[in-house]
Structure 1
Amino acid sequence: MEQQTWDTVRRLVAWLDAESRPMSPEVARLLRVLKISEEAGEVAEAVHGALGGNPRKGASHTWADVERELCDVILTAMVALASLTPDARKVFEEHVSCVADRSLG
């Protein structure tokens, strides 16, 4: 990912640190990791809505909604990772490389 993206993630982490209710760094990190599950649930809700899977709600979402919710999951995970380590970009790129080597040979 581009450096600009990770710079934005760092700015978001700093904003969250400054604007969140006072709490220990450990609790703040934990809440940021747990936020990923919340966002993943929103993806599931959007998929159900795009497929009309809930008869009570019908087609309540579009695939564009699913795309946006997936972006929220990715961004939330990036913020959580950057909250855990100052080397988030390096950690992520190394992990992607390992997965690619293992999966793609």
Structure 2
Amino acid sequence: MERTDQSWESVERLHAWLRESNTYPPEQEVLLRVLKLSEEVGEVAQAVIGAKGQNPRKGTTHSWQDVESELCDVIITAMVALRTLTPDAAGTFTSRLDHVVNRSLGD
């Protein structure tokens, strides 16, 4: 079964939901979205440390599936932050991805 990617539509819905409950001015809203991204990256690090059992006091506390979930949270949070900066988040992302692919892999 072919699945249509509706990721940016979902991001738009999440962005609208967050805007409804936002009580900060727009410039602070952007700042908070970026700070949230840092928080999510920290959760990835915590999950990797937990999956490797690198905290002797805690032992193995996470699975690699937890790491995958946390990485997805980082991506989702970054997409919402990008949407907070621009209504054309999908176009901005696609343009940047194309640039990075061409720079890295050539035409």
SS of the residue corresponding to residue 54 of structure 2 reads: coil
CA separation in 1, counterparts of 2:64 and 2:25? 38
When the two structures are superposed, what TM-score results if normalisation uses the length of structure 1?
0.95
Identity %: 59
TM-superposed CA distance for 1:3, in Å, is: 5.5
CA distance, structure 2, for counterparts of residue 26 and residue 65 of structure 1: 32
Shift in Å, 1:102: 0.6
Kindly report the root-mean-square deviation, in angstroms, between the aligned alpha carbons of the 2 structures: 1.0
User: Which 4+ stretches in 1 moved above 4 angstroms?
Assistant: none
Where does the alignment leave 5 or more consecutive residues of structure 2 unmatched? none
Partner of 2:51: 50
AA in 2 matched with 1:39? E
1:1-105 alignment, distance < 5 Å: 4-20=6-22, 22-105=23-106
Extract unaligned runs of 5+ from structure 1.
Answer: none
Distance in 1 (CA, whole Å) between partners of 2:105 and 2:58 is 41
Matched to 2:92, the amino acid is V
